[in-house]
Amino acid sequence: MFVYSLLALALAAAPAAAIDYNAAHNVTPITGTWSSGSKAVLTGDFANPANLSFNYPKNTGVSYAFSDAGFYEVARYRFNSNGSNPTCITGVLNWHHGTFQLVDNGSIVLTPFGDGYQQIQDPCAAESNFIEDYNKTELLSQWQIFTDPVDGPKLHLFESDGTPVAPLYQVYSTANMLPTQKLRNVTAVADVSSLLALNTNTGARSWTPASAVAMVSSVFALGAASLVL
């Protein structure tokens, strides 16, 4: 994780032509709350850091929030497929927040406060459901904002290797996020069984391979429809 953070910072600092913030960036400011697809995943009420739980959205997706003061928050809910065993689909809920920097070369560096976490459910693994810390410094190699004729401002982000993040639509012009400070003590060792019980009590759910396949199929259909648009 430390090496990854150094790599992200090194890539961001690498010599490059200063970005020209033209119409592709100035359709609207990047500040605000953005969400993909059905906009079911939103920052702000996605995670409960005090007890390491999540409020499960109805659909998968990703949400980013950026504030005028330089703070960010990320919420992700996704399924990862397994090519060797299609029934072994891994579900991941991921949350982190911190500060962001718009770099002159057109990249964005996300530096976490250190209290992020994620829940991973894998029906085929020896440990099928667990929660772990997530505090990686992330590099978004580039970003652009376009105007969608139906949904308005649309933010395109690209990961450090150039992989595009799902298109994000502006839900709010302001940042919907939890308090912009460290919200939990990450030095304490969590009792995973009690944490998972808390997740169950707050509306969390687990999935079987069959239900995960059904969810992925519906998400794929929504994604295909958005590409056509």
Q: Which residue has the tokens 């920052």?
A: 43
Query: In the predicted model, is pLDDT for residue 9 greater than 50?
Result: no
CB 89 within 8 A of CB 212: yes
Q: How many domains does one find in the chain?
A: 1
Please give the residue that has the higher pLDDT: either 22 or 199: 22
CA distances to 55, 92, 204 from 58, rounded to whole Å, are 10, 14, 11
Confidence band, pLDDT 50/70/90 cuts, at residue 177: very high
Q: Count CB-CB contacts under 10 A for residue 113.
A: 18
pLDDT tens per residue, range 102-137: 998 999 999 999 999 999 998 777 777 899 999 999
Average pLDDT of the chain to the nearest whole number: 79
- In this predicted structure, the answer to whether residue 138 has a pLDDT above a threshold of 80 is yes
Q: By residue range, what is the domain housing residue 49?
A: 2-228
Model confidence over 21-70: pLDDT tens digits?
A: 556 556 789 999 999 999 999 999 999 999 999 999 999 999 999 999 99
**Residue 93's pLDDT band (cuts 50, 70, 90):** very high
- What confidence score (pLDDT) does residue 141 get? 96
DSSP states of 106-163: S-EEEEE-S--EEEEE-TTSSS-EEEEE----EEEEEEEEEEETTTEEEEEEEETTSP
